[in-house]
Structure 1
Amino acid sequence: MKAGIFTLDTGLYKAKKESAATAALKRMLEQVGFEVKAAGVLPEDKKVLSVVLERLSDTGAVDLILTTGAVGVEESDCAPDVVADISDRLLPGIPEAVRAYNLRYSKRAILDRSAAGIRNNTLLVNLPGKAKAAKESLEFILPELVHVVEMLRK
């Protein structure tokens, strides 16, 4: 199984800094057998994100793409819009479950607009931007993500 992980943060991107969230998610995916083929920080830009996700999905380079950040209510929060726009099928249960899980920690989880979908047998999932929240969210849904990826690879 192959994966890509991208943190959406224009400030980190411009400063050429790494993301704690990307590093944490990479370790978690590798522990369950994923090979992370692409990872890094991208600007909060719809066109850039669309091109990256489409290219990785359409070429079969990865089976799973996780994004962190850019899932809120600010105009630059584009990750859910991109996933909704480019997916062949949406999987609303994944972000609904993550929001419900995160409500235990903060009422601000109601402001999360994360999305999940499938494009050309690649699973796309938005996660929160904070490293701790992204890690805890992935821990909660990881067995189901592995199951979906295995189903899509048949």
Structure 2
Amino acid sequence: MWKIGVVTSSNSVYCRERENDCFPKLEALLKHNFDAEVAHHRLSPDNIEMLKENMIELIDREKVDLLITIGGTGLSPEDVTPEATELVIDRHVPGLAEEMRRCAMQHSRKVLLTRAIVGTRGNALIINLPGSLPGMEWCFLAIADQISSALAIIQGTNENVNT
């Protein structure tokens, strides 16, 4: 099974002013969908350099296969997770990000305001999820069925790609 890392990006969660309600829900979704657990979880303020360092540490040093970020994908000036992710990834996986928004729009058109991206770094998959509880869940469930295939392809364990 995969080694999973999560970075929660939120000034208010980092400063303990607000509960991190998305992380326990993501843990439950990972357990239910993949029978997998989070090996590493980091809290970060909305700061590009700290986010970048957390992502690089989890992928390059801790060797996570799947890195999921929660929060920092909106239009607020402090929302910088996509910018930090851009500094870390080797390649974009736009189809997954597009599908997250497409499916989540069935619940709320506000998802059009998320700037979440998906990409790879080496053999790891990086997924940005919104920091709102329903948005995070909608986006995750929109692509959950493709995560195993994406990781198998990235890691070279699946040569047959069905389109």
TM-score (norm. length: structure 1):
0.91
| Pair member with larger Rg | 2
| Residue in structure 1 matched with residue 161 of structure 2 by the alignment | none
Which 5+ residue runs of structure 2 have no aligned equivalent? 158-163
How far off its partner does 1:151 sit? 2.2
Percentage of identical aligned residues: 25
| Residue in structure 2 matched with residue 130 of structure 1 by the alignment | 132
Alignment of 1:63-74 (within 5 A): 63-74=65-76
TM-score (norm. length: structure 2):
0.87
Aligned length: 154
| Residue in structure 1 matched with residue 149 of structure 2 by the alignment | 147
| Residue in structure 1 matched with residue 20 of structure 2 by the alignment | 19
How far off its partner does 1:97 sit? 0.8
RMSD (CA atoms): 1.6
2:89 counterpart (83, 87, 90): 87
1:112 counterpart (107, 111, 114): 114
Aligned with 2:15: secondary structure?
A: helix
* Cα distance in 1 for residues equivalent to 2:117 and 2:57: 19
* Cα distance in 2 for residues equivalent to 1:26 and 1:40: 13
Contact 2:104–2:142 (Cα < 8 Å) also in 1? no
Amino acid across the alignment from 2:129 = L
* Cα distance in 2 for residues equivalent to 1:74 and 1:141: 25
| Residue in structure 2 matched with residue 2 of structure 1 by the alignment | 3
Aligned with 1:81: secondary structure?
A: helix
1:78 counterpart (77, 80, 88): 80
Matched, 1:49 2:35: no
How far off its partner does 1:46 sit? 0.5
Cα 1:18/1:5, change in 2 over 3 Å: farther
How far off its partner does 1:55 sit? 1.4
Q: Runs ≥4 in structure 1, deviation > 6 angstroms?
A: none
Larger mean CA deviation between 117-126 and 59-68 belongs to: 59-68
Aligned with 2:57: secondary structure?
A: helix
* Cα distance in 2 for residues equivalent to 1:102 and 1:109: 6
